[in-house]
Structures are given as C-alpha cells and as structure tokens.
C-alpha cells in the first residue's frame, strides 16, 4: 500500500494553525484540532477549516509528532546502525534483546537481512490482547449455552423417566 502524499500548504499559511493553537493554550496543533472539531460552533470557519486540515492530514500521518516513534532520532540512528552492523553476526533473538535494552520499548525496529534495510515505527497495540478478550467472551458464551443445553437434556431425561 502506497503512503499518501502530504498535501502542500501555501508558504504564507504555514504554521498559522500551530501558532493559533499555542496562543490559545493548547499543547500542540493535534490537540487543538481535536478540540475545535468537537465544538465547531465555538470557533470561526477559518479556524475550523485549519483544524479539519490538521486533523485529516497532519495528525493522522506518520509525519505527525503525535504519531512519530518515541525513540529520539539520535537513538533511532544509533540502533539502526547497530542492527545493520550485527544482523549477519547475531541471531534475531540476540539482536532483539540488545535492541530492547537500547530502546524505550515503545519503538519497534524491523530489519531485512537480505536487503540490509532497517525501519522503525511506534509499537501498535497487540492484536493478541484483543483476541484474548474475544476468546474469554466466547468461553463464557459457550458455558452459558452448555448450561442451557444441560438443563434441557435433564428435563428431557426426566420426562422420559416418567
């Protein structure tokens, strides 16, 4: 899947929304965009348009500060260099152990031993946790169904004894 191109902003408009956000007490442009989009009637149409743009293009892409990896760029560069130098010499398990000790564990590093490329991105929530919840739900449902079927079976057996 190709990454979407970040739409160009006219030079005269660059930084306008961020400056507005800082002036109005917001932590960053993304938090300001969320607040503006939740209550559009409080703000002028220009601010709403800028917030919409920020939310759709700035806050939803990997280039956004809110979406960036949490390891600082210097550490990422150091880890990537380490991986490139050692991917042929160490096993994946050993390499991962060393990378985890160097990283904040909120940034994931992937490498391709054939091409030598290394990439980093923010760790996503594990689908396994979601699956565990679904499994528990299904087990509970199965227990309830089993109990109902067991009751039904006992009732049928009781009728047959009469």
In a domain, 115, yes or no: yes
Task: For residue range 93-114, list pLDDT tens digits in order.
Answer: 888 888 888 887 777 888 877 7
Q: Give, in degrees to the nearest 5, the angle at Cα 1 between 80 and 87.
A: 25
Span 134-141, average pLDDT: 74
**Number of domains into which the chain is organized:** 3
Residue at 65 is within a domain: no
Of the listed ranges 14-18, 53-57, 114-118, 145-149, the least confidently predicted one is: 145-149
Are 77 and 116 within one domain?
yes
Query: What pTM was estimated for this model as a whole?
Result: 0.37
Its domain, for residue 134, covers: 125-162
Instruction: Give a yes or no: residue 5 inside a domain.
Output: no
The DSSP output letter for 9 is -
Q: Assign 64 to helix, strand or coil.
A: coil
If phi over 0 gives left and psi between -120 and 50 gives alpha, with beta otherwise, what is residue 43? beta
Give the pLDDT band (50/70/90) at residue 36. Answer: very high
Reported confidence tier of residue 1, pLDDT bands at 50, 70, 90 = very low
Backbone angles phi, psi at 119, to 5 degrees: -130, 155
What average pLDDT does this structure show over 115-137?
A: 70
Residue 108 and residue 124: Cα distance in Å, rounded?
A: 9
Whether 150 maps to a domain, the answer reads: yes
In a domain, residue 88? The reply is yes
């Amino acid at each position: 899947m190709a990454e979407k191109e970040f739409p160009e902003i006219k030079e005269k408009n660059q930084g306008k929304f961020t400056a507005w956000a800082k002036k109005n007490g917001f932590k960053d442009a993304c938090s300001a965009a969320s607040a503006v989009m939740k209550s559009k009637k409080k703000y002028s149409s220009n601010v709403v348009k800028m917030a919409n743009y920020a939310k759709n293009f700035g806050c939803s892409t990997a280039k956004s500060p809110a979406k960036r990896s949490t390891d600082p760029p210097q550490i990422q560069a150091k880890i990537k260099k380490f991986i490139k130098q050692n991917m042929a010499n160490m096993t994946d398990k050993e390499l991962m152990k060393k990378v985890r000790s160097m990283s904040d564990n909120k940034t994931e590093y992937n490498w391709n031993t054939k091409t030598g490329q290394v990439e980093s991105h923010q760790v996503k929530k594990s689908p396994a946790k979601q699956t565990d919840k679904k499994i528990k739900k299904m087990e509970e449902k199965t227990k309830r169904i089993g109990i109902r079927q067991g009751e039904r079976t006992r009732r049928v057996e009781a009728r047959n004894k009469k």
